[in-house]
A and B are shown apart, each in its own frame.
Chain A
Amino acid sequence: MSPTSPANATQKESRHVLHCLERVMGTVVTIDIYSEDGEASDHTYLQVARARDILQRADAVFSTWKANSPMSRLRRGEITREQAPPEVTEVLEECAKARRISRGWFDPWAMPGGVDPTGYVKGWAAQRALGALASAEISGAIVNAAGDIASFGAMEHSQAFRIGIVDPFSPSRLACLVELTGAIATSGTAERGSHLIDPYSRRPTARVASASVTGPDLGLADALATAVAVAGEAGLRLVETLDDYEALIIGFDGTLRRTEHFPLASPVQLQE
C-alpha cells in the first residue's frame, strides 16, 4: 500500500451530482446536490422528489394568485385559521415572530389587501425543501428560489459555496461575492420597481438600493432583507444586534455598508 497519493485525496472531494429545476411559486427554484462519492443514489433522487413536493405544496397552500388556495380563502374570510392546513398557522406564527424580531419593519399584516405572507413563504418553503435533503450521502445542497438561497454543507475541499450579489446599479454585474454558510436573501428596488411597502407609512418605500441578509434560516433572512431594504441604516443596526444574522446594504449613493461579520468572500469596494 502506497501512502496517500493525490489521486486518493481527490476521491474524497465533494462533487456536484445533480441539478434540478422546479417551476413553482411563479418562478423557478433550482436544487443542486453535492456528494462525496460523486454519484446520486436512488435515495438521493427520492429526497429531491420530496423537496419538490414541499415546494409545490407550499405554492398550492399559500399562493395569493390562486383564487382557491387556502391562503386566498383565508384572506377573503371564507375559512378560519383553524380550518386552513396546519402550515398556515405555522407560517403566520413565524411571520409574527419575524415582525417582532424586525421591530415591525417586516409586517405581512400591513400589506394592501390584508395579511399577505408571500414575502416569507418563498424563503420558508425553500428552507423546508432543503431540510428534505439532509442525509449522510449528501455533503452539500443549495436550494435557490429565484435569488433567495438556502444551503447546507460545502463543495470539494470543504470550500464554502460562493454567491454573487447583483449590483443594483448595473444589474449585469455583481457587486460582491459572499462565502455562504446557510442562507442568503436579497431585497431591493433595482429590478421590479418599488414593490416594498413601509409598514409604518404603508407607502412604497425603499431606503437603500439593495439589502442582503445571511443567516441560518432563509425564511427569517428573507423577512429581514425586506425589513432592511425598507428601514435602511436603522435596519443594518438592528441586524447587528441579532445572533447569527448579518446584513449588507448598498445605498442609493453606491456606498456599501455591512454588519461586522457579513461573510464577504474578499474585501471589495463597489466599482465605479
Chain B
Amino acid sequence: MRRAPVVIGATVVGLIGVLTFHTKSAPVTLGSLSGASATQGSTTTTAPGSSPGNNSSGASSPPKSGSNAGTSTVPSTNTATSSPSATRSATGSAVNYHYGILSVSVTASGKRITKVSIGSINDGGNFRSQSIDQQSIPMLEQQAVQAQSANIQGVSGASYTSAGFQQSLQSALGKLGL
C-alpha cells in the first residue's frame, strides 16, 4: 500500500533537500545570485552532451566572471569545502510525472553540483506537456544549481513538473552519494 519512500539519512550532510546545498556562507546579495546563475546558464547552454570536464571547470571556478558588481562571498566558501573535486555524473531513475516520464542527470564536482539536466523525457507528444516542459524544465535545472549558490532551503512558486523532476534528481544525487 505504501509507496517506497525515498528517505536519505545523514549521508546527505551538506545537502539540504533537493534544491539546496548546505554551507556556512555569508548572506548572498541578489547581485551575487544572478552572477552565479549567469555562469551556470552559460555552462548549461554550451552543452547538452559536452564533456563533464567542461562543466566542472566552468561552474566550479568562482563566478567572478559574472559582470555584476555584487560582491559574491559564496563561491569561495563553497570551493573551500569541496576539497575532493573529482567530477562525477549520474542519471536518476526514470519517473512518471504528471505528463509523461522523465529522468534527471546530475554532474557534481566534489560535493558541489555543477550541472543538472534532463537525461531523458518522454511525454508521448502531448502538446500540453510540451508547452509546460519548455518553460519549466530549464527553470528547474537552473533552480537546482542556483539554489546551492544562494544557500537556500527551498523555492516558492515551483511547478507541477517539479514532482517527477525532484524525485529523479533525488535518486541521481543518491547515486553520487550527495
Binding site for B on A (CB under 8 A): 15-23, 26-28, 30, 32, 38-40, 48, 52, 142, 144, 146-149, 155-156, 161-166, 168, 171-174, 176-178, 180, 184-186, 188, 190-192, 210, 212, 265-266, 268-269, 271
Interface residue from A17, A173, A176, A177 paired with B142 (Cβ < 8 Å): A173
Per the 8 Å Cβ criterion, residues 16-60 of B in contact with A are 16-18, 22, 24, 27-30, 33-34, 37, 41
Q: List 8 A-B contacts (CB under 8 A).
A: A18-B8, A19-B8, A28-B163, A28-B166, A147-B158, A172-B139, A268-B29, A271-B30
Which of B78-86, B103-111, B144-152 lies at the interface? B144-152
Using A16-B13, A48-B7, A172-B37 as known contacts, list a sample of 10 further A-B pairs with CB atoms less than 8 Å apart, ordered by residue number in A: A17-B10, A20-B6, A21-B18, A28-B162, A162-B152, A162-B153, A165-B157, A172-B138, A191-B132, A265-B27
Question: B117 in the interface, Cβ–Cβ < 8 Å?
Answer: no
Residue-wise, chain B 156-170 has the 8 Å CB interface mask toward A (1 for contact) of 111110111011001
A28 and B152 contacting across the interface, CB-CB below 8 Å = no
Q: List the B residue with the shortest CB-CB distance to A211.
A: B157
Chain A: CB-nearest residue to B170: A21
Q: A16 to chain B: which residues have CB within 8 Å?
A: 12-13, 15-16, 22
Structural contact, A162 and B37, CB atoms closer than 8 A: no
Q: Is the beta-carbon distance between B156 and A148 smaller than 8 angstroms? A: yes
Q: Which residues of B contact A30 (CB under 8 A)?
A: 17-18, 166
Give the residue of A171, A180, A212 whose beta carbon is less than 8 angstroms from that of B139: A171
Most buried by B among A38, A171, A174, A191: A174
Instruction: Please name the 7 residue pairs, one residue from A and one from B, whose CB atoms are nearest each other, closest first.
Output: A147-B158, A166-B157, A172-B142, A186-B157, A171-B139, A28-B163, A268-B30
